[in-house]
Amino acid sequence: YITTDELYQAMKGYGMGDESTIKEVLDEVDTNN
């Protein structure tokens, strides 16, 4: 299990979109729990 913070750092590290894109994805992931 991974925290959203770790996921955020990983996505940023791999250049998967900018900050707002990442936050959008994380918000969607968060609501799917």
Quick: pLDDT tens for 1-33.
Answer: 778 888 888 888 888 778 888 888 888 887 765
Q: Compute the distance between CA of residue 31 and CA of residue 2 in angstroms, rounded to an integer.
A: 15
The overall pTM is greater than 0.85:
no
Q: Compute the distance between CA of residue 21 and CA of residue 1 in angstroms, rounded to an integer.
A: 22
Q: How many domains does the chain have?
A: 1
Q: How many helices (H) and strands (E) does the chain have?
A: 2, 0
pLDDT at 32: 64
pLDDT at 7: 84
pLDDT at 6: 87
Domain with 13, as residue range(s), is 1-33
Give the SS3 label for residue 19. Answer: helix
